[in-house]
Amino acid sequence: MASTYEKIASTTTTSNATTVAFSSISGTYTDIVLICAYGTSTPGSNAPYIEYNSDAYTNNNYSSTRLRGNGTAAASSRRSSDPFYITDGIIPAGGVNETLSVINIMNYSNTTTYKTTLLKNNQAASGVEALVALWDKTEAISTITLKNLSTYYFINGSTFTLYGIKAA
């Protein structure tokens, strides 16, 4: 039986990196999935975010709703016209927040609908999160860039793998 997931590209940071990008993404799949096993460093709020097709978050085309829990408390948040943050977790002072993110991007190559993203995070330092995000553009996604704000960075050895889901 053939595999449903087909690896498109993978990268592992060899030094601390402020961005990770996947470009020239083929439109031959129904959906794509990005699996990220990474650490981010710098005390305070963990702020990596996603841009599609170099559409800067300052263009106000992203919105998201997030649910989070840490075993003691639960919370939710809503963002409009703001960055599509991969995670809003907190990094321990002087430490690293290790995160496993599974990012499902549905109908990424469809040119008649906005793009919906479902994201699940498991964070060693702060709990779990689920997020639904909308990019209000109808163009096919051909570039995905993961960025960090300010002095944040993905630590050396972080891995990012993009898979295409074949049509059934």
Distances (CA, A) of 100 to 123, 142, 166: 7, 23, 23
The per-residue pLDDT for range 131-151, each reduced to its tens digit, is 999 999 999 999 999 988 767
Q: Is the pLDDT of residue 92 over 70?
A: no
Average pLDDT estimate for 93-117:
86
The per-residue pLDDT for range 8-51, each reduced to its tens digit, is 999 999 988 889 999 999 999 999 999 998 887 654 455 688 99
Q: Is the pLDDT of residue 79 over 90?
A: no
